[in-house]
């Protein structure tokens, strides 16, 4: 199987995602620049974490109108799989490939305040437990298991006006950011687009908090 990473100005998790995908697929992923309109064929396209365009306007807003996203939308329509991690999840919501929006973390969290532009956001960086849900992945639930995966975000507070209509992939066991219904990740209706705030590419090495990142890919690309 082949994978590809979409790279935007400011993306800072590309190297980690490259190592993760190479370890999983046993071959290097292709790199797609944000200005590309003809993208190589791949079984999985990944929008990585990082502060694309410096999170100006709001996280993911400028990246969502990059030329490459029109090509990604066409791939989604064809049935190719797209995974958005952290800022990638925000971009997918901005492009309407996924419903809802990501807001500034609820200030009940006690993490350090991080200045970005003129706004102070509660930035959270820690490992969290995720509970997988049964939308399009019954095989995972044959052996119930919580995933231990790190988060690192200031705008991960997922919101949807009708959260029960959302196809939930993961929920937080202990909500760190105020997300509605504890939502940590969601699918589109077809199940070929997955967005999540936690970073599976930081949960696969021996020195990481766990190797549960692999299970995210197992679940998504099976």
Q: Known catalytic residue: 201?
A: yes
Residue 143 burial class via C-beta count within 10 angstroms: exposed 0-12, middle 13-18, buried 19 and up: exposed
Residue 36's nearest CA partner among 10, 82, 70 is 70
The active-site residue, picked from 34, 153, 160, 199, is: 199
Q: Are 58 and 102 in contact (CB under 8 A)?
A: no
Residue 55 burial class via C-beta count within 10 angstroms: exposed 0-12, middle 13-18, buried 19 and up: buried
Residue 197's nearest CA partner among 98, 119, 76, 54 is 98
Q: Known catalytic residue: 86?
A: yes
The active-site residue, picked from 16, 94, 155, 201, is: 201
Q: Known catalytic residue: 13?
A: no
Contacts of 202 (CB under 8 A, 6+ apart): 16, 149, 150, 152, 208, 209, 213
The active-site residue, picked from 13, 16, 34, 86, is: 86
Catalogue the active-site residues. 86, 199, 201
């Amino acid at each position: 199987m082949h994978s590809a990473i979409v790279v935007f100005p400011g993306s800072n998790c590309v190297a980690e995602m490259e190592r993760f995908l190479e370890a999983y697929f046993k071959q290097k992923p292709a790199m797609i620049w944000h200005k590309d309109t003809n993208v190589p064929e791949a079984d999985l396209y990944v929008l990585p974490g990082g502060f694309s365009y410096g999170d100006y306007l709001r996280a993911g807003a400028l990246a969502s109108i990059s030329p490459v996203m029109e090509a990604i939308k066409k791939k989604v329509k064809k049935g190719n799989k797209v995974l958005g991690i952290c800022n990638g999840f925000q971009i997918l919501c901005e492009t309407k490939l996924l419903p809802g929006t990501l807001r500034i973390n609820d200030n009940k969290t006690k993490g350090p305040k991080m200045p970005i532009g003129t706004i102070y956001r509660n930035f959270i960086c820690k490992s969290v437990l995720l509970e997988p849900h049964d939308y399009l992945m019954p095989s995972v639930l044959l052996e119930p298991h919580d995933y231990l995966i790190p988060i690192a975000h200031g705008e991960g507070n997922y919101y949807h006006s009708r959260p029960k209509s959302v196809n939930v992939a993961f929920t937080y066991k202990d909500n760190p950011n105020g997300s509605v219904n504890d939502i940590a990740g969601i699918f589109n209706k077809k199940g070929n687009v997955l967005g999540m705030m936690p970073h599976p590419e930081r949960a696969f090495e021996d020195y990481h908090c766990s190797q549960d990142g692999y299970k995210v890919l197992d679940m998504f690309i099976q």
